[in-house]
Structure 1
């Protein structure tokens, strides 16, 4: 699994970091989320489904 975020679409709501903090965190300076563990984790798919703008990309 490979996880990434489309930074142009991210609105910085932080849902992904709340749902899956081992994979995502908030970049406070940029005001958007960032991937801290690109190999993903169990909760990455749930975070992608929770994203209101669908900017999380998961490649199997």
Structure 2
């Protein structure tokens, strides 16, 4: 299993990651993305979201 992390200080709250992969990403009340554990079946969508992040705030690593 993998884990996705969002650097809160870099996140601009655009919501692109939520649009690409709503099963993993959500926006907090402060309009910052948050991630979590990534089941293998969602890994491709998470990687797409990380690549699409306009500020490079998303990282994916083994748990």
Over aligned residues, Cα RMSD in angstroms?
Answer: 1.0
Q: Which has the larger radius of gyration?
A: 2
Q: Higher helix fraction: Structure 1 or Structure 2?
A: 2
Residue-by-residue CA offset, 1:4-26 (whole Å, 9 max, x unaligned): 10000000000000000011011
Instruction: Compute the TM-score of the two structures, normalised by the length of structure 2.
Output: 0.82
Moved segments of 4+, more than 3 Å: none
Gaps of 5+ in 1: none
Gaps of 5+ in 2: none
**Paired residues, number:** 57
